[in-house]
A and B are shown apart, each in its own frame.
Chain A
Amino acid sequence: MYEEVDESLAVQSENFFKHIKTFEYLDDLEMDIGIWDQLSNDITITPTSDHAIERHYSNVSLFDSVEHELKPYRILSTPVEIKGKHYLFAVRMSLVDNDDLVMVLASVQVVIVVLLAVAMLFVNKRLSERLWRPFYHTLNQLKAYELDKSESIQPANTAIVEFNDLNKTVAHLTDRNRKVFLQQKEFIENASHELQTPLAIFQSKLDVLMQNTTLNEDAAATIGELEEATHRMMRLNRNLLLLSKIDNDQFTESSNVDLSVVASRILDNLRSFAEVGGITFNTSLFPVVVNANSTLIEILLSNLFQNAVRYSGNNGVVEVLLANDVLTVSNMGQPLKMISETLFNRFSKEGVSESSTGLGLAIVKRICDFYGYNIRYSYVNGKHVFDVAFRQVEASPVA
């Protein structure tokens, strides 16, 4: 640590000795040295009789009369002989100046390093932002991608080979998935369509067979059972067809529909069925207008009401409340045996009710999803409650 200082002190003392040698011809050198000792601040040269002193470095603190504090100094003391007389030559140097210097140098260094680091970070960040932009573009598109709604992914063009590769792969993958998905959707619709004619033939044969007056009781019963099964098949197929038609966006026409009008018409129709089981309706309908396909709205409401009637016990009450963009349909009944999350799934049935296709609520859910309505099921105070919130984000459905 003192290396620099010591060196500097040594050089000073060497120079002094060299100079004093050249002044040895002066007679009154001894007095000159005395004066010089008084005048010089950093150098003292005093006669000494102690011969044992050796050249050495030492640290001392001296009082600074200006700043009124002690300051550290480094002192080199060297015995010297001038014109046969012994002197102790001492040269001193402030350590404070040196520390300050070190501090200044160090801080400058630190500032440079920090600036450099910051600049590098900044440049790096900007650079990678630019580099990764196409990547994030693709990533965001992937995040927003919905198989049943989005078209294909449009990757940004980039000069980076790897990203280009990635984009191509992603676009290819999504396109292929979409194609498979569309084929699947189409397949269900086509399959249901194709089944209609054989079903019609089957049913027509049964109708003809029933007219046969020579049938015995066993044969008649068998035909009746066949007829029952065909009836279920027909209904199942019709519902599947309806579902796939909704999936395939075949209900594009929309108009302003007053739900209260549709609801009261359907309820009027249902009343004659419901009263056979002693079921009554407790309704409170206020006008709510939505922009939607009237057929789909009719199916949505009618399925909900039918569901409520179906799962009401004899002499039950079905409550229908339509107000403030919310439709609430509730009926008394035993709690569900199935998990309520699966209620809206296709083919999920409560119990082994033979007459249910298990598609009614799935259709309800699909229509709600199609228009962005929020449907909720809850079981409160022994009542099954369905809420549909008709808050449309947009006037037309997201196709």
Chain B
Amino acid sequence: MKILIIEDEKELVKSMTQFLRQESYVCEVAETATEAGEKILMYDYDCILLDLSLPDGNGLKVLESLKASKKTDGVIIITAKNSLEDRVAGLNLGADDYLSKPFYMPELMARVSAVIRRKRFDGNNTLTFHEITIDLMGKIVTINGKSLELTRKEYDLLLFLVSNKNRVVSKNAIAEHLSGDDAELLDKFDFIYSHMKNLKKKISEAGGMDYIKTVYGLGYKFTS
């Protein structure tokens, strides 16, 4: 699967390619709007990560030309501005998602895979990891065909972990993902720990394997 990263911060690009490449993703990079425009015309991408502040102009122009040429590439806007106008303008122009800097790499990963899944399977899709099957439309999880009763948070948690399979995901990244904008609270009680415990218990009770590993000092890893 091909991803185009349009971003002029070299170091950030480096991390993004490193993190995303571990999966079966192929990353290409454009540092300017002009370069991006050329690449978009020549190739098709599954997902485009678009920084709005580029050295040679606003990234929204790239998005406009992309949509003008009737391309269906998924687009995630990435910006340091986090202004409502940009968000609205971007989504109105047909962007699929919006992520403001700074962000966690697992969050980016989850968003990218969500966009790709939507584009690939026309929204009608399931995600399978060994005996675990997640129906993304119905938000139903089944293990060996048996359905699993999960709370909304537990479902979100599982999906996040599966999207980041084989990667170490920090507690903070999980907390930000689950709570959206108000993660301030989550450190007080070991919220993540308790949800993780419940999720593990439910999976094992349904006859699933324990794929959630605790990584000392860092966080969790979903791996077989």
Contact = CB atoms under 8 A, between A and B. Distances in A.
Interface of A: 193, 196-197, 199-208, 210-211, 217, 220-225, 227-228, 231, 234-235, 237, 241, 250, 269-270, 272-273, 276-277, 295, 302, 306, 309-310, 314, 354-357, 360
A205 B9 CA distance: 13
A306 B191 CA distance: 14
A209 to B, nearest CB: 9
Contact of A196 (B84, B102, B106, B184): B102
Given A203-B102, A204-B19, A210 B218 contact: yes
16 contacts: A196-B80, A196-B100, A200-B9, A201-B12, A203-B102, A207-B104, A217-B216, A222-B217, A224-B170, A272-B153, A273-B186, A306-B185, A309-B188, A310-B185, A355-B184, A355-B187
A223 B217 contact: yes
A208 B186 CA distance: 24
B183 A235 contact: yes
Contacts of B106: 207
B80 A197 contact: yes
A222 B217 CA distance: 8
B167 interface: yes
Q: Which of B168, B180, B188 has the most CB of A within 10 A?
A: B188
B80 A227 contact: no
A273 B84 contact: no
Contact of A211 (B11, B22, B80, B100): B22
B94 interface: no
Interface residues of B, number: 48
Contacts of A237: 102
Contacts of A211: 19, 22, 167-168
B70 interface: no
A355 B218 contact: no
Interface in B165-224: 167-168, 170, 172-173, 179-191, 194-195, 215-219
B34 interface: no
B65 interface: no
B161 to A, nearest CB: 14
B15 interface: yes
Contact of B184 (A220, A269, A360): A360
Contact of B191 (A197, A273, A295): A273
Contacts of B217: 217, 220-225
A357 B18 contact: no
Interface string B1-35: 00000000101100110110010000000000000
